């Protein structure tokens, strides 16, 4: 799902996302399922921005990244909106 992020505050000095996953108004496990599908569709090293309103993503997204080896570059909460920036891991040599 693609989101219009033009109205959101800018992220700190981080890489621009290659894809944005809009999981707002979805509840566990849907945000992580959408993230997992997006990670499969991008190239190694590319970056995904995840937008979510489910507070459980504060627990689930870091665990997802740790378990699968992806880099959680940034996370933030703006009111009821949770934003994450995730870089897909490169394959092991």
pLDDT of residue 13: 84
Model confidence, pTM: 0.86
The yes-or-no verdict on residue 92 having pLDDT over 90 is no
> Of 8, 26, 28, 72, which one is the catalytic site residue?
28
Q: Is 28 a catalytic residue?
A: yes
Ordered domains of the chain (ranges, CATH): 19-87 (3.30.110.40)
- For residues 42 and 75, what is the distance between their CA atoms, to the nearest angstrom? 20
The yes-or-no verdict on residue 90 having pLDDT over 90 is no
Q: What length does the chain have?
A: 93
What is the tens place of the pLDDT at every residue in 5-44? 556 666 668 899 999 999 999 999 999 999 999 999 999 9
Band the pLDDT of 78: cuts 50, 70, 90: very high
């Amino acid at each position: 799902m693609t989101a219009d992020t033009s109205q959101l505050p800018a992220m700190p000095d981080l890489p621009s996302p290659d894809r944005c996953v809009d999981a707002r108004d979805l509840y566990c496990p849907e945000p992580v399922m959408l993230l997992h599908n997006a990670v499969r569709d991008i190239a190694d090293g590319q970056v995904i921005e995840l937008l979510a309103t489910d507070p459980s993503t504060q627990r689930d997204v870091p665990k997802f990244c740790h378990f699968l080896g992806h880099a959680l570059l940034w996370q933030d909460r703006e009111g009821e909106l949770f934003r994450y920036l995730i870089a897909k891991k490169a394959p092991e040599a």
